[in-house]
Amino acid sequence: MPKLTIDNIPVEVADGTTVLEAAAKVGIEIPTLCYMKGVQTIGACRVCVVEVEGARNLAASCALPATEGMKVRTNTRRVREARRTVVELLLSEHDGDCQTCARNEDCELQSVARTLGVRDVRYTGAKAPRYRDSSTPALTRDTAKCITCRRCVTVCNQVQGVAALWAQNRGFKTVIGPAFCQELDDVVCVQCGQCGAVCPVGAITEQDHIARVWDALDDPSKHVIVQTAPAIRAALGECFGYPPGTRVTGKMAAALRRLGFAAVFDTNFAADLTIIEEGTELLMRLKQALVPGGNGHKHQYGPLPMFTSCSPGWIKFMEHYYPDMTANLSTCKSPQQMFGAIAKTYYAQKIGKRAEDIYVVSVMPCTAKKFECQRPEMTDSGVQDVDAVLTTRELGRMIKQAGIDFAKLPDEQMDAPLGISTGAADIFANTGGVMEAALRTAWELITGRPLPFENLHVKPIEGLEGVKEASAKVTDALPAWKFLEGAELKVAVAHGLGNARKVIERIRSGQAQYHFVEIMTCPGGCIGGGGQPRLTDDDVRRARIAAIYEEDEHRELRKSHENPAIQQLYKEFLGEPLGEKSHHLLHTKYAARTRV
Amino acid sequence: MSDDGIVKCACGEEASEEELLARLDTVLKDYRDKPGALIPVLQIAQGLFGYLPESALKRIALGLDKSYSEVAGVVSFYSFFSTVPRGKHLVRVCLGTACYVRGGKRVLDALKQKLKVDVGETTPDRVFTLEVARCFGACGLAPAIMIDEEVHHRVKPSRIELVLSKYRNGNGDAPVERSAKR
């Protein structure tokens, strides 16, 4: 427990605490750019330098451990000038078209420059090399705005294990990007957008769909409907100054209605539908594996363990890195795509319109959803099932563009029927949630009793631990599921593709055996998605997750199979889970992609 | 690589790309579990192929379980590595401080003019590739150039042709005046 002084203020901190953290403890905010709490402390940008008595050079406080007796000064002339010089040098090579930049007023470089009082850039010279890359449906890159802080490289490699990005070339010519400055679409990028979520400037951001959504809303021949993913309601408020974890479901519905959408629907509806299809698929796979003679179905199901398939970054990751295991992925489309397919068939029929007259907009916490919606498989309604995908950030911008005062909005409801959902759908937003939702339904189907966990929460798979496991022994199974009697159902949950890789390697080496595995691409799950308001750290993740659980607990219906709109959908349209129509509209297949 | 798919390997034998990739696989097997294997493997591969073709780099990434972006990052960081085919002889002009002040730049200009190529380029007859370097440790005898493994000291722009001519016809193994094996 070293004791030190920072600007003459004594402070005692735990071993391993950095000077940056110790300063925060005594109310001194040191500016940073490359630093990411708990993820990257490489001291590369030098914005956080401090003076330490007895040391000749200034030190980067983010990478400097606090030691006994240390005397730190954070506000000397030398420190102020050094920080300002660092920022001026960054600005001198940065392409600073601030007013038209997607990150205007949300830019960390801008904010640090403002904080340090940079009013003049004393240096002129060459600008950073420019490569513009709009090759992917989800992301755009502009290296002229890049300050080579390497946050994206660390996230892409160490957190996600995707490794699409690395520093190329050397010195002033350094470019952060794919191998040999290829385009993102040519490499293993899964388009999760975690790079853009941590980018301090406008060098990586989402492909903007706002213009095409306005176009659709202005087109009188289009019936424009919107679905919002479960994670949006716990984060959209942040775009309007609310603290992370503020639930804004009602205001969001009101805002969407005022933007001009003909119907305000919910991806939650499709999440409940996913549980019915995916839960049934799991039971079929179990039956096929455990009962001699197979599942008694004409259809052959994939092997165990079954992996969830809601997260499009994860799907693309499997296609690149483990193409030999794509049969383990559930064949269920993601809720976004199930929604699109149902909206342009079932709902179209209901309102007497053709699929091509309906325009489906999704609001997603995710950039990979922009990639997913244009996959060639996602056209089962006869046209592209989902037409445009807005991230949470883009929806925030649209609401501002429309001049809507978000704080003054009343709470409104989603529309029926595709806006009706249960608490099980809410928790799709966070790590462990899809598994919990599936177990709430599958357990009841197998045993006729509710899931034996307090308040229906499967505690062992909650929280931000990277890989989580749970198991439950089946007793007193209903007659149809007697083959599961006494079986120990084992499940695992991982979030962040680096953790997904760990689970897969354990399965491949035989170290672990599971029946069902939930994977979410982004750390924390969708609430930490690449399209969420910046900047997401673990504190923000926890706050959003807490809001989602509250959302779930405030519901009357908390199990997907109790959703009356879903029951009606099967009765009127789909027939039975995994039936002919479901196979056609709600299930998909996967492609093998290369690794290099 | 020539049109018939034959690669001239640096050791002088002719080998097809297939054969060279097979040799690379043997190297990769040896290095697979060694830490810090990437740079030595890239050096060996460049020795085999004369440069680092995409096929070899991808094989290295897979063989060492590294990402292609990291392999490319390392290759593009070091000027020693080349991803384009090189000439039979690599001419490197030192532009380190000592050589620079003693006229290294003028030697480079003379070479550019004589070979009719720019830095990083290869002559159309594939005999010479011109590169610059930062210090061979021959500062006392500046300006220095290096052709393949041989260092030439106190090079004068006017005598460039004489130095080059030893390589033009033969294979450059003959002892050269005022030069020393490194």
User: Would you say residue A540 lies in a domain?
Assistant: no
DSSP element (H, E) containing A548: helix A538-553
- Would you tell me which residues 175-204 of chain A have a C-beta closer than 8 angstroms to some C-beta of chain B? 178-180, 187-188
- Under 8 Å between Cβ of A28 and A61: no
If asked whether residues B62 and B107 sit together in one domain, one would say: no
User: Would you say residue B54 lies in a domain?
Assistant: yes
User: Would you say residue A215 lies in a domain?
Assistant: yes
If asked whether residues A388 and A286 sit together in one domain, one would say: no
DSSP symbol at A50 = E
Domain total of chain A: 4
Phi-psi region of A432 (alpha: psi -120 to 50; beta: other; left: phi over 0): left
A305 prior amide bond cis, ω within 30: yes
CB contact, 8 Å: A172 with chain B? no
DSSP symbol at A136 = S
Nearest to A390 by CA among A200, A190, A256: A256
pTM of the model as a whole: 0.92
User: Would you say residue A56 lies in a domain?
Assistant: yes
If asked whether residues A428 and A507 sit together in one domain, one would say: yes
Q: What residues of A act catalytically? A: 278, 281, 310, 330, 369, 372, 377, 526
Contact A166 B73 (CB under 8 A): yes
Count CB pairs under 8 A between chains A and B.
45
Contact residues, chain B, for A158 at CB < 8 Å? none
Contact residues, chain B, for A596 at CB < 8 Å? 58, 61-62, 68
End-to-end CA distance of chain B: 29
Quote the ipTM score. 0.92
CB contact, 8 Å: B69 with chain A? yes
Chain centroid to CA A585: 25
Contact A179 B77 (CB under 8 A): no
User: Would you say residue A257 lies in a domain?
Assistant: yes
If asked whether residues A159 and A248 sit together in one domain, one would say: no
Q: Report how far residue A258's alpha carbon sits from residue A100's, in angstroms, rounded to the nearest whole number.
A: 26
pLDDT (tens place) for every residue of chain A, 596 residues total: 999 999 999 999 999 999 999 999 999 999 999 999 989 999 999 999 999 999 999 999 999 999 999 999 999 999 999 999 999 999 999 998 899 999 998 999 999 999 999 999 999 989 998 999 999 999 999 999 999 999 999 999 999 999 999 999 999 999 999 999 999 999 999 999 999 999 999 999 999 999 999 999 999 999 999 999 999 999 999 999 999 999 999 999 999 999 999 999 999 999 999 999 999 999 999 999 988 777 666 678 999 999 999 999 999 999 999 999 999 999 999 999 999 999 999 999 999 999 999 999 999 999 999 999 999 999 999 999 999 999 999 999 999 999 999 999 999 999 999 999 999 999 999 999 999 999 999 999 999 999 999 999 999 999 999 999 999 999 999 999 999 999 999 999 999 999 999 999 999 999 999 999 999 999 999 999 999 999 999 999 999 999 999 999 999 999 999 999 999 999 999 999 999 999 999 999 999 999 99
If asked whether residues B100 and B177 sit together in one domain, one would say: yes
Which of A157, A164, A168 minimises the CB distance to B76? A168
If asked whether residues A351 and A450 sit together in one domain, one would say: no
**pLDDT for the residue numbered B168:** 85
If asked whether residues B59 and B97 sit together in one domain, one would say: no
If asked whether residues A326 and A460 sit together in one domain, one would say: yes
Q: Report how far residue A585's alpha carbon sits from residue A114's, in angstroms, rounded to the nearest whole number.
A: 52
Which of B62, B69, B78 minimises the CB distance to A163? B69
- Would you tell me which residues 107-166 of chain B have a C-beta closer than 8 angstroms to some C-beta of chain A? none
Q: Which CATH number belongs to the domain containing residue B143 in this structure?
A: 3.40.30.10
Chain A closest-CA separation from residue B72 CA (Å): 5
If asked whether residues B119 and B65 sit together in one domain, one would say: no
User: Would you say residue A414 lies in a domain?
Assistant: no
Using alpha carbons, list the distances in angstroms from residue A26 to A63, A74, A163, A279, A463. Answer: 18, 12, 38, 51, 29
Chain B closest-CA separation from residue A163 CA (Å): 6
Contact residues, chain A, for B70 at CB < 8 Å? 157, 163, 166
Q: Report how far residue A355's alpha carbon sits from residue A346's, in angstroms, rounded to the nearest whole number.
A: 10
If asked whether residues A432 and A506 sit together in one domain, one would say: yes
- Six-digit token pair at A367? 């950039």
Contact residues, chain A, for B61 at CB < 8 Å? 596
CB contact, 8 Å: A289 with chain B? no
Using alpha carbons, list the distances in angstroms from residue A371 to A260, A376, A386, A495. Answer: 25, 10, 11, 20
Q: Report how far residue B98's alpha carbon sits from residue A190's, in angstroms, rounded to the nearest whole number.
A: 49
If asked whether residues B47 and B128 sit together in one domain, one would say: no
- Domain containing B59: what range? 6-77
Q: Report how far residue A53's alpha carbon sits from residue B77's, in angstroms, rounded to the nearest whole number.
A: 37
Residues A404-452 pLDDT 10s: 999 999 999 999 999 999 999 999 999 999 999 999 999 999 999 999 9
Which of B68, B76, B83 minimises the CB distance to A596? B68
User: Which residues have C-beta within 8 Å of that of residue B86, sequence separation ≥ 6?
Assistant: B50, B51, B122, B129
Q: Which CATH number belongs to the domain containing residue A553 in this structure?
A: 3.40.950.10
Q: Point out the domain boundary residue: B54, B77, B100.
A: B77
Q: Point out the domain boundary residue: A206, A226, A244.
A: A206
Q: Point out the domain boundary residue: B57, B77, B97.
A: B77
Phi-psi region of B135 (alpha: psi -120 to 50; beta: other; left: phi over 0): left
Contact residues, chain A, for B67 at CB < 8 Å? 157, 163-164, 166, 188
Contact A169 B58 (CB under 8 A): no
Q: How many Cα neighbours within 13 Å face the side chain of B27?
A: 23
Which of B62, B77, B83 minimises the CB distance to A170? B77
If asked whether residues A300 and A247 sit together in one domain, one would say: no
If asked whether residues A127 and A199 sit together in one domain, one would say: yes
Q: Point out the domain boundary residue: B77, B101, B129.
A: B77
Q: Report how far residue A585's alpha carbon sits from residue A31's, in angstroms, rounded to the nearest whole number.
A: 51
DSSP element (H, E) containing A327: none
CA angle A119, A535, A118 (to 5 degrees): 5
User: Would you say residue A562 lies in a domain?
Assistant: yes
Q: Point out the domain boundary residue: A153, A179, A206.
A: A206
If asked whether residues B135 and B113 sit together in one domain, one would say: yes
- Six-digit token pair at A510? 């035989």
User: Would you say residue A83 lies in a domain?
Assistant: no
Chain A closest-CA separation from residue B127 CA (Å): 26
User: Would you say residue B141 lies in a domain?
Assistant: yes
- Domain containing A65: what range? 3-75
**What secondary structure does DSSP assign to A201-230, as a single string?**
SSSEEEPP-HHHHHHHHH-TT-EEEEEE-T
If asked whether residues A166 and A215 sit together in one domain, one would say: no
User: Would you say residue A417 lies in a domain?
Assistant: no
If asked whether residues A496 and A531 sit together in one domain, one would say: yes
Q: Report how far residue A489's alpha carbon sits from residue A295's, in angstroms, rounded to the nearest whole number.
A: 18
User: Would you say residue B34 lies in a domain?
Assistant: yes
Contact A157 B67 (CB under 8 A): yes
Q: Point out the domain boundary residue: A151, A175, A206.
A: A206
CB contact, 8 Å: A171 with chain B? no
3-state secondary structure at position A254: helix
End-to-end CA distance of chain A: 47
